[in-house]
Amino acid sequence: MTEPHAYAVHRSWDRDYHIIERTEGVYLYDTAGKRYIDGTGGSSVVVSIGHGVKEVPAAMHRQAEEFSFYPAHAFSNQVFRDLSERIVKMAPGTMRGNAKVWITCTGTDATDDAIRLARQYWVEKDVMSKYVVITRWQAFHGNNIAIAGYSGITGRRSIFQPMFVDSPHIPPAFCYRCPFEMERATCRLKCARVLETTIRQVGAENVAAFIAEPVVGAALGVAPAPDGYFEVIRDICDRYDVLFIIDEVMTGFGRIGTTWGIEQWGVTPDIIATAKGITSGYTPLSAVLAHNDIWQPLIDNNSPFKAGHTLNANAVSCAGAMAVLDYLEENDLVERSAAMGAYLLEQMRAKLLPHPTVGDVRGRGLMAGFELVADKVTKEPFDPALHVSKRLEDIAFERGLITYPCTGSVDGYAGDMTLLAPPLIITCEQIDEMVDILDASIGELEAQLA
């Protein structure tokens, strides 16, 4: 490994990075001409329509030639309005045609603003006491100081812990390592029902909202909530006047085989935070989508939404998002995600699960993951000091596949996982290539560990 760059701060200090030169479809090429499969759709779960789709930069270029930036306190822009209308027409359940959209920049902005909206909703209704946001352990909702606190990734929280607001975290919905050590057949979804206990302990009069990802991404190496989970959550939120925010930053726009992840549980949230797939990474843009009922108290009080960033509703990014959504629709990529996702999972089960270190393979649509264990029967994790998932990432990288290593499935520290989320355009042949590389890489890792 060479020395890190003298001026640019990267994620790791212990190495320098290969420089990326160009991208196309599911492939990335570095300046040495080496080709990699983008097995994670960026870092991570971003690239939906594939790399190098010319229509997207062309749409952004056309918009930039008209204007890119303007005083947003004084004007609106048409493409922002068009994108908002389009998203509302795609919205899940009772939100469809009955919601409004706030466009901002990053996934963290979206979850932060979703939580702001929840608090402001109660304040505008004169319910001043409701401010607590209940979240889950091993969840990730973003990376500013507030949201890192609401998130449940222990390693990313640790040094900032004293700066967080005190907010309750319930255990994750994670069947492979059920936090209640129960079996799915008899658990009656205790992981969902515990929300009610927590609301009662905190006092429903204090609780503004509950936030969750439909499929936990980076924090649990892809863990879809069990069937029925969000139905129970919705019911509890309704009974205790708690807003239900779904974090669709990773899952929105087809990633798990439906436009929205939450559709697969058949319930409608009050507020959705979304990002990543909406622009497929071509440009930063995120959105908060909320039912009209949630915006109404602000409108009634003529009270502006108390959030906002300088680059919100950026016209060039909105034009990029419109072009991405066109491509997604014209190429039926949502349906493709479901079909290719089923194939990916089947191949992973066939070729990866037989490895002695692969304890679990899981996923929905083209969001999949697997867990690496020291003992398959007891599910004993590897010693975190071995950095097993990181080592697998390095081996797969050398073999031309980008994977995303995750840790902490057991207790926030131990528990090695690998996340996969290739672009939705991936073919069966490319999935075969991906899984074959993983198969060989896991074999190499196992030989090292032995």
Ligand X SMILES: Cc1ncc(COP(=O)(O)O)c(C=O)c1O
Of the residues 106, 357, 403, 407, which one makes contact with ligand X according to CB under 6 A: 106
Q: What is the DSSP string of 254-305?
A: TTTSSSSGGGGGT---SEEEE-GGGTTTSS--EEEEEEHHHHHHHHHTT---
Burial environment of residue 71 by CB neighbours within 10 A (0 to 12, 13 to 18, 19 or more) = exposed
- Which of 130-138, 220-228, 245-253, 374-382 is the region at the interface with ligand X (rule: CB under 6 A)? 245-253
Nearer to ligand X, 261 or 430 (CB): 261
Of the residues 28, 207, 242, 249, which one makes contact with ligand X according to CB under 6 A: 249
The rounded distance, in Å, linking the Cα atoms of 445 and 360 is: 17
Nearer to ligand X, 117 or 395 (CB): 117
- Which of 20-28, 134-142, 177-185, 224-232 is the region at the interface with ligand X (rule: CB under 6 A)? 134-142
Nearer to ligand X, 109 or 196 (CB): 109
Check residue 280 for interaction with ligand X (CB under 6 A).
no
Q: Spell out the alpha helix ranges (H) of 102-239.
A: 107-124, 145-150, 154-157, 190-202, 229-239
Of the residues 23, 84, 108, 317, which one makes contact with ligand X according to CB under 6 A: 108
Nearer to ligand X, 60 or 115 (CB): 115
The rounded distance, in Å, linking the Cα atoms of 169 and 166 is: 10
| The residue to which tokens 């990326």 are assigned | 20
Of the residues 39, 42, 50, 142, which one makes contact with ligand X according to CB under 6 A: 142
Burial environment of residue 102 by CB neighbours within 10 A (0 to 12, 13 to 18, 19 or more) = buried
Query: Which one-letter amino acid corresponds to residue 206?
Result: N
Strand (E) or helix (H) holding 9: none
Contacting residues for 159 by C-beta, under 8 A, at least 6 apart: none
Q: Using alpha carbons only, give the angle 314, 255, 23 rounded to the nearest 5 degrees.
A: 65
Interface mask (CB under 6 A) for ligand X, residues 208-227, using x and -?
Answer: -----x---xx---------
Nearer to ligand X, 316 or 445 (CB): 316
Of the residues 121, 122, 137, 140, which one makes contact with ligand X according to CB under 6 A: 140
- Which of 47-55, 101-109, 119-127, 168-176 is the region at the interface with ligand X (rule: CB under 6 A)? 101-109
Nearer to ligand X, 402 or 445 (CB): 402
Query: HSE of 394 in the Cβ direction (CA atoms, 13 Å)?
Result: 11
- Which of 1-9, 103-111, 119-127, 179-187 is the region at the interface with ligand X (rule: CB under 6 A)? 103-111
Residue closest to ligand X (Cβ):
107
- Which of 54-62, 141-149, 238-246, 378-386 is the region at the interface with ligand X (rule: CB under 6 A)? 141-149
Of 226, 158, 219, 251, which is closest to residue 389 (Cα–Cα)? 219
The rounded distance, in Å, linking the Cα atoms of 416 and 414 is: 7
- Which of 11-19, 247-255, 353-361, 442-450 is the region at the interface with ligand X (rule: CB under 6 A)? 247-255
Nearer to ligand X, 116 or 193 (CB): 116
Check residue 285 for interaction with ligand X (CB under 6 A).
no
β-partners of residue 369 are 362, 419
Cβ count near 72 (within 10 Å): 17
Nearer to ligand X, 143 or 292 (CB): 143
Nearer to ligand X, 153 or 437 (CB): 153
Nearer to ligand X, 123 or 285 (CB): 285
Of the residues 113, 196, 247, 371, which one makes contact with ligand X according to CB under 6 A: 247
- Token representation of residue 408: 């902490």
- Token representation of residue 364: 């929905």
| The residue to which tokens 């935070």 are assigned | 273
CB of 444 to ligand X, least distance (A): 28
Nearer to ligand X, 247 or 416 (CB): 247
Of the residues 141, 234, 291, 364, which one makes contact with ligand X according to CB under 6 A: 141
β-partners of residue 210 are 134, 244
Number of residues counted as binding ligand X (CB under 6 A): 15
β-partners of residue 224 are 215
Interface mask (CB under 6 A) for ligand X, residues 162-201, using x and -?
Answer: ----------------------------------------
Edge-to-edge strand ranges of the sheet holding 286-291: 99-104, 286-291, 271-274, 243-248, 207-212, 132-136, 169-170
Q: Are 50 and 38 in contact (CB under 8 A)?
A: no
Check residue 417 for interaction with ligand X (CB under 6 A).
no
CB of 137 to ligand X, least distance (A): 14
Residues that bind ligand X (CB under 6 A): 106-108, 111, 140-143, 213, 217-218, 247, 249-250, 275
